[in-house]
Amino acid sequence: MSQSTENRGTPLVELRDISISFGGIKAVDHVTVDLYPGEVVGLLGHNGAGKSTLIKCLSGAYQMDAGEIFINGDKAEIRNPRDARAYNIETIYQTLALADNLDAASNLFLGRELVTPAGFVDDARMEAETRKIMGRLNPNFRKFKDPVKALSGGQRQSVAIARAVYFNAKILIMDEPTAALGPHETQMVAELIQELKAQGLGIFLIEHDIHNVMKLCDRASVMKNGQLVGTVNVDEVTDEDILGMIILGKTPEGVSA
């Protein structure tokens, strides 16, 4: 599954030497990670290790204090979520970031509404598009008219995923996409990740479940206390190796990717 990273050309994303601190606490401390097309990179670590914070620098939710971001080898300026979207970076947040009072279509197109020639929002067309994509992602989805607060956890998750997938993402960030899901839905997300990967997307996957990491990821970058412990090729290590990295903060000998 994994290839040697040296001869794969330019990474899709390179986060180089990123630092960000909040009130004197270094949430992310000189971390460098990268991501290639068609690859899933797991980001692991305890709660508060800095995974979500690091990734929010890429999605534009936070502004890093120091460091550089390269997209396809070019330096990128990401100051806000709009900039990130312009680089085809889509994010599925742990909280899902849905407006509970709006329906699925309004959430899917939030910030990128389809409009009529007169400049009004085209609800009918947005709903039609939503039905199309949901038909592919979650064929059982029916509640197109209800506000998303009336949906189940899995349905809400599929709205959030549809939002990321619909706009032709090249880089996908998933923050614990299966944390609130049942086994069946988790399987659906796993299949989707495989499918998107086959389409050549690069995916950053924040995940706590080691089992999922071993199953879904090509490489894993482990963080502890805001610092990068190391990055390994998943099929060259065992569960215990990765757990050791998370808990002890030590990279096993000779497996660094």
Options 3, 9, 66, 110; binder of another protein; rule CB under 8 A = 110
Closest approach, Cβ 82 to another protein, in A, equals 4
| Contact flag: residue 132 with another protein (CB under 8 A) | no
The 10 Å Cβ neighbour count of residue 29 is 18
> CA–CA separation, 2 vs 236, rounded Å?
9
Options 5, 8, 46, 97; binder of another protein; rule CB under 8 A = 97
- Contact range with another protein by CB under 8 A, out of 15-23, 38-46, 47-55, 112-120: 112-120
Options 93, 141, 166, 204; binder of another protein; rule CB under 8 A = 93
Task: Supply the angle between the helices 123-137 and 153-166 in degrees, to the nearest 10.
Answer: 110
Q: Which is nearer to another protein, 132 or 215 (CB)?
A: 132
**What per-residue string of b and e applies to 188-214 under the rule 16 or more CB within 10 Å gives b?**
bbeebbeebbeeebbbbbbbeebebbb
| Contact flag: residue 149 with another protein (CB under 8 A) | yes
> CA–CA separation, 142 vs 121, rounded Å?
22
3: amino acid identity, one letter: Q
Q: Report how many helices (DSSP H) and strands (DSSP E) the chain contains, helices first.
A: 8, 10
Report how many residues bind another protein under the rule CB under 8 A. Answer: 37
- Contact range with another protein by CB under 8 A, out of 29-37, 121-129, 166-174, 207-215: 121-129
Interface ranges with another protein (CB under 8 A): 59-61, 80-82, 85, 91, 93, 95-103, 106-107, 110-113, 115, 119-121, 124-125, 127-128, 145-147, 149-150
